[in-house]
Every structure is written in structure tokens, then in C-alpha cells.
Amino acid sequence: MVMLDVLANALTMIKNAEMRGHREVIIWPSSKLVGNVLRVMQRYGYVGEIEFIEDGRGGKFKVQLLGKINDVGAIKPRFSVKVSELMRWEEKYLPARNVGILILSTSKGVLSHLEARQMNVGGVLIAYVY
């Protein structure tokens, strides 16, 4: 099995486990980016406990699912976004106003579009969840 995009893979694993009604999912391979995206999702109440398991091969994340995710996915290609353009991307990826979050990689770290707007930083769109 060839894995080209670790983040897209992780988000698909979460989506599939969520649709099947599982309470938790093991995500591997892991990366710092996946961990940061999971923390943003946790801050907004989409996932519960996140545990990193070191297995000597890069590690795994054990993620508690709360059954609150309708859709989650990586955004490809990864678009660069200015703060002023965030609204347009919200309309494109999220189902309605104030429903869900876009996740951006910015110079201030991995943030939701709400935090990015508050800090007035642009970045690169990497994922969405609602």
C-alpha cells in the first residue's frame, strides 16, 4: 500500500471509522502535521482524547471519536489563502455559515480559519471538518 498523503489518509481513516460508528480509531503513519490538525479538531470538539503511541516506527495516534463529524477531508491542491479570501473558501468547503472549520497551516502554526482571521494571518488550506 503506497501512502502519498499522510494527512489525507488520516482524515479518511477518521471519516470511515466515524461512519461505521466506532468509538476510536488508530491512525498510522503519524506526522507532526497530523497531530496538529487533530489538536485543532479537538479544540473545536470534533474529536475527544488524542493519545500518541510510540512504536519505534514513527508512532501512531489513538483518537477517541465523539460521533460529531459529518464530513472531514484534506484540501488538495493546497491553496494559499489571504485573510480577505477566507469567506470565499468557507462557502466552497463548508455547508453553511458558522458550521464547521477550515484548517490552515500558517506562520503561527496550524489554526482554524476562525483563529487565523482573529490573528489576521493567511496561510495554506489543508483540511475541512464539519
Three-class SS of 114-125: HHHHHHCCCEEE
| pLDDT tens per residue, range 26-67 | 999 999 999 999 999 999 999 999 999 999 998 999 999 999
For residue 29, which amino acid is it? P
Q: In CATH, which of 3.40.50.10210, 3.30.1490.10, 3.40.50.2300, 2.40.160.20 is domain 72-129?
A: 3.30.1490.10
The string of DSSP letters for 1-21 reads ---S-HHHHHHHHHHHHHHTT
The percent of residues above 90 in pLDDT, for the chain, comes to 95
Architecture of domain 6-65: 2-Layer Sandwich (3.30)
Please say if the pLDDT value at position 94 is more than 80.
yes
Closest CA to 89 of 114, 66, 58, 64: 114
Please say if the pLDDT value at position 20 is more than 80.
yes
pLDDT attached to residue 3: 72
pLDDT attached to residue 34: 97
